[in-house]
Amino acid sequence: MAHRESIQSDIFKLLLHGEPFFWAVSSSVGYGCRNKREDVLLIQFFLNRIIEEARNIITSDIIMGVVKDPAPFKKIPEMLVPDGDFGGKTWAAVKWLQKVSGYCVVDGMVSESDGTNALTPKSKMWYTIHILNYFYRDLCTEYFSDIRSDPKLPSLLCSHLTGLPDLV
């Protein structure tokens, strides 16, 4: 289930500007994965916020300074229906983000991470969940510490997160 996870990796903390935690999935999301409803909702929520902001600031130096190749921004996906179901549109949006960032394996999958390592063991690339957190934290800073305060958070995900003991 979607939750907050502490960060032990100093490199990952730097990516998130010193934040002590990140928003995590409890199991991988993608084709062939368990795709727990709340985990998929978290991914869809992050993607929607990033897609929305990318549309608003596509030519901004903020985005151009973050990505290696701005060409994929010309193909920004449509907003996702936050339903908790992993399908083709969510898969395509994950792949878009992975390609735009230039720091992830482009496979359409969001692997779980426990915050101890910044990079995946096999490919030595950033975990997609880390990059999702990075973009959300930079684009929606005021909501990062408690995403329940984000007015665009789907109510089903908000209800799930309200029950978690680690939220302040």
Rounded to two decimals, the pTM is 0.88
45-69 pLDDT tens trace: 999 999 998 877 665 544 455 555 6
- Does a structural domain hold residue 167? no
- How many domains does the chain fold into? 1
Selection from 157, 97, 99, 107 nearest residue 133 by Cα: 97
Q: Which domain holds residue 115?
A: 3-162
83-123 pLDDT tens trace: 999 999 999 999 999 998 999 999 999 999 999 999 999 99
Centre a 10 Å sphere on the Cβ of residue 43 and count the other Cβ atoms it contains: 28
- The answer to whether the CB of 22 falls within 8 A of the CB of 41 is no
